[in-house]
Chain A
C-alpha cells in the first residue's frame, strides 16, 4: 500500500498508481494539488510503487 499524507492526515491506497489517480480518488483537483516523494517534487504522472510514501500539497491560497 502507498502511504499518502495530505494536510496532517494519512491515507493508505493501493500501489502501482500515480499521484494524479490518487488525487482524483481522494476527491481533490489535480490542477490545485502537487505531489512530492522524499521531499522532491514529482509530476502527477509519475509511477508510484507499493512501498512509496507521497505527500500531496494544496496550492490554493488567498481569500
Chain B
C-alpha cells in the first residue's frame, strides 16, 4: 500500500478528504483551499470590493491561514489580536500574541496588526473578569466569547472597518449547531449563518469564510503553507462542552464521511426553505453605557460583566 495519489497531478497525496472523495498533493490542496475560500466569499457576498476588512487573529491555525489567504486573494485586510491575559502555566496569551506578531511581521508592508490588551483597557484579564461574573463562574468560555465579540465589534466600528471576519471552520459551526439543537435554542439557530449583516445601530457585518472547511483542512493548509501557528489549546478549554461536541461529531464522521458537512449545510439549506421561519432574532439597540449593540433592554451583557467584576 503506497497511499493515494493526487487526483489532479498524480503526485503523492498530502491529504485525503473522504467527504469529497478527493485526494490532493500539497500544491493542489493549497490551490483548492484558496479557490473554495474565494468562491464561498463570493457566494455569500461576504466581502465587497470597497470593504475594509478586519480579521480576528488569535495566533492559531485558522485565523492565520485565513488572513494569509485573504491577502493572497487581494483583499484589504488588517488583523486584530486581543490579548486575553491568560497565563495557564505557560504564558498562553503572551505566546499567542507572539505567533500573531511574527506572522504579521512577515506579510505585506502596509498591513496592520492591531493589538488590544483587555487588562490595559478594563483593569482585569479575561480570567479575572470571568471569575467575578456569573457567566464566568459557570462557563469561562462563554465569558471569553462575550469579551471577544464585544471588543472585535467595538474596534472594527471605531477604526472604520466594514467587515469583521473570523476563522471559524465547519467543525466549529457544526459543534455550535449540535449544542443549539440539543437545547432547542431556536433563536440562536435562526441567526447561525456564515455571514451576518451589519446594521445602523453599530453592528459590523461578520463573515466566516472558512465555514465550509473541516478543521483538519485548515490545519493542513497552515502546515503545507509553512504558517507557524500557536499549537496549544487554551488551558481553559479542557472539558469545554464545544470540544465534547466536536469529539462526538468526529466519531460520527469517522464512521460515515460527510456527516459534519451534511449536518451543517443541510441545516443552512433547510433554513433557506423556511425552517425556523418566525423565529426572529431579538431586536437590537445600543447599550446606554458602551454604545455597542445588544438585545438587552438595560446594559449589555459585556457591561454587566464589567460591573460585576468591579464589585468588591
Binding site for B on A (CB under 8 A): 18, 29-34, 36, 40-47, 57, 59-63
Spot the interface stretch: B38-46, B49-57, B230-238, B274-282: B230-238
A59 to B75, CA, bound (A): 27
5 pairs from A and B in contact (CB 8 Å cutoff) = A29-B247, A34-B220, A41-B14, A43-B4, A63-B144
B155 interface hit (Cβ, 8 Å): no
B15 interface hit (Cβ, 8 Å): yes
Majority-rule SS of A interface residues: loop
B70 interface hit (Cβ, 8 Å): no
Instruction: List chain A residues, Cβ under 8 A from B1.
Output: 18, 45, 47
Beyond A42-B3, A57-B223, A63-B144, list 12 extra A-B contacts (CB 8 Å): A29-B247, A31-B251, A31-B253, A34-B15, A40-B14, A43-B23, A45-B3, A47-B3, A59-B61, A60-B246, A61-B215, A62-B172
A2 CB to closest chain B CB (Å) equals 15
Instruction: List chain B residues, Cβ under 8 A from A32.
Output: 215-216, 246-247, 250
Instruction: List chain B residues, Cβ under 8 A from A42.
Output: 3, 12, 14
A23 to B60, CA, bound (A): 23
A37 to B92, CA, bound (A): 28
Q: Give the interface centre of B13, B144, B214 by most chain A CB atoms within 10 Å.
A: B13
Instruction: List chain A residues, Cβ under 8 A from B219.
Output: 34, 57, 59
Q: Give the interface centre of B4, B171, B172, B219 by most chain A CB atoms within 10 Å.
A: B219
A36 to B215, CA, bound (A): 16
Chain B 271-311, CB-CB to A under 8 Å as 1, else 0, gives 00000000000000000000000000000000000000000
With contact pairs A41-B26, A43-B16, A62-B243 given, residues A31 and B3 touching in the complex (Cβ less than 8 Å):
no
Chain B 23-48, CB-CB to A under 8 Å as 1, else 0, gives 10010000000000000000000000
Question: Is the Cβ of A63 less than 8 Å from the Cβ of B237?
Answer: yes
